Amino acid sequence: MAPPMRTMAARSAFAQLQQAGRRAYATTRPSLVANRAQWTSRPVSHQIALRQTIRQQSTDASKPAVKPKSKGRFRALRWTWRISYLSAIAGAAYVGYGIWEMRNPDDQPAPDPNKKTLVVLGTGWGSVSLLKKLDTENYNVVVVSPRNYFLFTPLLPSCTVGTIEHRSIMEPIRNFLRHKKAAVKYYEAEATKIDYEKRIVYINDDSEIKGDVSATEVPFDMLVIGVGAENATFGIPGVREHGLFLKEVGDAQRIRNRIMDCCETATFKDQSPEEIKRLLHMVVVGGGPTGVEFAGELQDFFNSDLKKWLPEIKDTFKVTLVEALPNVLPMFSKQLIEYTEKTFKEETITIRTKTMVKKVTDKFIEAESTGPDGKKIVEQIPFGLLVWATGNALRPLVKDFISQIPAQKDSRRGLAVNEYLVVKGCENVWAVGDCAVANYAPTAQVASQEGAWLARMFNQMAKTQEIEAELAELSVKQETAPNKDARDTVFADIKDLQKRLRRIKQIGPFEYTHQGSLAYIGSEKAVADIAWLSGNIASGGTLTYLFWRSAYISMCFSTRNRILVCVDWFKSKIFGRDVSRV
C-alpha cells in the first residue's frame, strides 16, 4: 500500500503548487490578453510559451507608439513617374504623327503661269535653306541639280569608317519638296551654261540612263546660283589621279573601301615589311575641321575595331596629318589648337605642320617642310591611303558665267556679290554658298544663313508686289468713288496698306551671325569655340563631345535623319564598325 500512498501525496503536492501559481499570477498586472485568457490544464511547455508571450506584449505596450511614416515623399515620386510616363507617350505620339505626316504629303496646287519663275541651281546648304523657308505659292519654283538629295556634310567623315551609314545623313530632295505649299519642279541634271542675256539655263542629263531628250533649256525670271565648289588641287601633279577627296557620299565610300583594301593587302602572304609599312600609312592633307575629324575617326576605327580583327597590323598602322600652316584648326582659339595637338599625340597621330605637298605619285608624296632653323627640307612620305581635304575651286559653270559679266572680271574665288547677295553686274541673279564671295568663310553655317535670309527677302518681295497691286487698284477706286464718304473709306485703306508696305520694305542687308565652331578630334573628345555675347567660350573634352553630338543631331535636316543617326551611333557602340569591303 506504500506506493499508492506516495503517488497520492505527490499529486496533492503538485495540486498545491498549481494553486499557488494561480494566486501568484492573479496578483500580477495582467495585459488585455491575460484578462481574456482561460486557464486550462496544458502541458508545461505551453504554459511557459504563453507566459513569455504575455511578458513580451506587456513590454511592447510600455514602449512609446511609433508614428507611421509619412507618404508625402512617395507621393512626389508617384507624380514624377506619372509625368515621365505621360511625357514619353506624348513624345512617341508626336514623333509617330510626324513620321505619318512625312510619309503622306498633301496635294499641291499646280504652278501658276502668271507668276515669276524662280530657278534654283544646286541642293546644298544654301539652296536647301532657301527652299525650306521659301513660300512656293509666290513663285513658280524650279530646282536643277545632279544630286537628288541633301547631304549633311558635317557627319561625312563618320561615314568613311562606318560609324554612320551614308544614307542616314541624306535627305531626298523630292521628299522635302512634296511638303511645300505649292508644287516645285525638280530636274536631275547638270547646269552646263547660264545665258544671262536670254535669261536661260542650259541643263544636261549626265545619268547612266538617258531618254530621247538629254539636254534642254530652262527659262528664268529670277535665278539663285548655289552649286558650291569642287576640290582644289592647287596645280599639284598627281593629286587628282592618286588622292581621294572628302566632299560627296561617293568619296566617303571610296575611302572606306581603300582603308580595308590597304589592310587586307598588307596581310597578304610574303608581303615585305617595307611594303606593309607603306600600305598601313594613312596620310591626310589638310588641317581644317574636315581633315582633323577624319584623322580622329580613322584612329578610332583602328583602336576600337581594326586591331581586334587584324591583330597583325596593330604595330604598323599609322595616321599622319599634313598641314601647310603653322597650326591645325586655324579658326579655333590657341588653347583649343594646343588641346587638339596634345590629344593627337596621345592617340599616336602624327601632325606635320609647315609642310607643303609638291608632288603626288601612286606610292608616296613629295613634301617640302620647314625645319626649326628655317631651312627647307624635301622628303618623300610613302602612303597607302591619301585623303586630300583642303581648298575649294570654281566649278566650270561659275567660271563660264564670270566670263560673261564684265563686273566679275577680277573675281578669282567665286561670284562677287553685294550685301544683298546679288551677283555684281546682274539683276535678279543671286549667289549663295561656296560659289559666292561675300567676305565670309566658305562654311555650311554661312551658306545656311545666306539661304534663309534670301528666302525671307523673296517672301517680302512677293508681299510687296501684292500690296503695290492692291494700292494701284485702290487708287483707281478712289478716283471713281461716288461720294466723299466712299473716298474717305478708300483713303483709309490706302494708308493702312502703305504702313504695311513700309514695314515689309524694312529689310536690311545680309549679316552673318557666327554661332561657333565644332570639331571632333577622336577618342570621344571634341573641341568647341562657341560665340557667347561679345566673346567666345572655348571648350574641349568628353562633355564637349556630347555637346558636339547633340548639336549635330539638332542640325540634321529631318526627324528621319535624327533617328537614323542615333541608331547608327548605338550600333557602332554596341557591335563595333563593320570591317568588310564592298
Domain boundary among 87, 104, 121: 104
Q: In the predicted model, what is the mean pLDDT of residues 82-89?
A: 87
Q: At what angle do helices 289-301 and 334-346 cross, to 10 degrees?
A: 20
**506 pLDDT higher than 90:** no
Looking at the structure, do residues 386 and 517 belong to the same domain, yes or no? Answer: yes
User: How far is residue 248's CA from residue 55's CA, in Å, rounded to a whole number?
Assistant: 88
What domain range includes position 81?
73-104
Residue 158 lies in a domain: yes
Looking at the structure, do residues 121 and 177 belong to the same domain, yes or no? Answer: yes
Report the DSSP beta bridge partners of residue 149: 172
Residue given cell 602572304 in the structure block: 269
Residue 59 lies in a domain: no
Show Cβ contacts of residue 383 under 8 Å, excluding neighbours closer than 6 positions.
278, 281, 282, 283, 363, 364, 365
Residue 284 lies in a domain: yes
Looking at the structure, do residues 204 and 271 belong to the same domain, yes or no? Answer: no
Report the DSSP beta bridge partners of residue 193: 202
Looking at the structure, do residues 308 and 367 belong to the same domain, yes or no? Answer: yes
Q: Which three cell numbers stand for residue 173?
A: 530632295
Domain boundary among 104, 122, 149: 104
Residue given cell 563593320 in the structure block: 578
CATH no. for residue 162?
A: 3.50.50.60
Looking at the structure, do residues 402 and 523 belong to the same domain, yes or no? Answer: no
Looking at the structure, do residues 274 and 360 belong to the same domain, yes or no? Answer: yes
Q: How many domains does the chain have?
A: 3
CB 58 within 8 A of CB 45: no
Residue 167 lies in a domain: yes
Q: What is the mean pLDDT of the chain?
A: 88
Report CA Rg, the chain.
40
Residue 506 lies in a domain: no
Report the DSSP beta bridge partners of residue 388: 245, 285
Residue 535 lies in a domain: yes
Q: Could you read off the pLDDT of 39-79 as tens digits, one per residue?
A: 445 555 666 666 666 666 666 555 555 555 555 666 778 88
Show Cβ contacts of residue 547 under 8 Å, excluding neighbours closer than 6 positions.
518, 526, 528, 539
- pLDDT at residue 117 in the model: 96
Q: Are strands 429-431 and 222-225 parallel, antiparallel or unpaired?
A: parallel
Q: In the predicted model, what is the mean pLDDT of residues 370-383?
A: 91
Beta strands in 314-389 (DSSP E): 318-322, 349-352, 355-360, 364-370, 376-382, 385-388
C-alpha distances in Å from residue 323, one per residue of 293, 327, 342, 540:
14, 7, 16, 21
CB neighbours of residue 68 within 10 Å: 6
Looking at the structure, do residues 521 and 381 belong to the same domain, yes or no? Answer: yes
- pLDDT at residue 37 in the model: 46
Residue 33 lies in a domain: no
Looking at the structure, do residues 272 and 357 belong to the same domain, yes or no? Answer: yes
Q: In the predicted model, what is the mean pLDDT of residues 474-503?
A: 78
By three-state DSSP, how is residue 216 classified? Answer: strand
- pLDDT at residue 100 in the model: 82
Q: In the predicted model, what is the mean pLDDT of residues 395-412?
A: 93
Q: Could you read off the pLDDT of 314-369 as tens digits, one per residue?
A: 999 999 999 999 999 999 999 999 999 999 999 999 999 999 999 999 999 999 99
Taking alpha carbons only, the member of 454, 445, 426 closest to residue 416 is 426
CATH no. for residue 560?
A: 3.50.50.100
Residue 485 lies in a domain: no
Taking alpha carbons only, the member of 179, 175, 173 closest to residue 146 is 173
Looking at the structure, do residues 198 and 121 belong to the same domain, yes or no? Answer: yes
Torsion on CA atoms 558, 564, 566, 567, rounded to nearest 10: 160
- pLDDT at residue 389 in the model: 95
Taking alpha carbons only, the member of 422, 452, 455 closest to residue 135 is 455
Looking at the structure, do residues 384 and 413 belong to the same domain, yes or no? Answer: no
Looking at the structure, do residues 90 and 166 belong to the same domain, yes or no? Answer: no
- pLDDT at residue 47 in the model: 64
**550 pLDDT higher than 70:** yes
On the 0-12 / 13-18 / 19+ scale of CB atoms within 10 A, 439 is exposed
pTM: 0.81
Looking at the structure, do residues 382 and 255 belong to the same domain, yes or no? Answer: yes
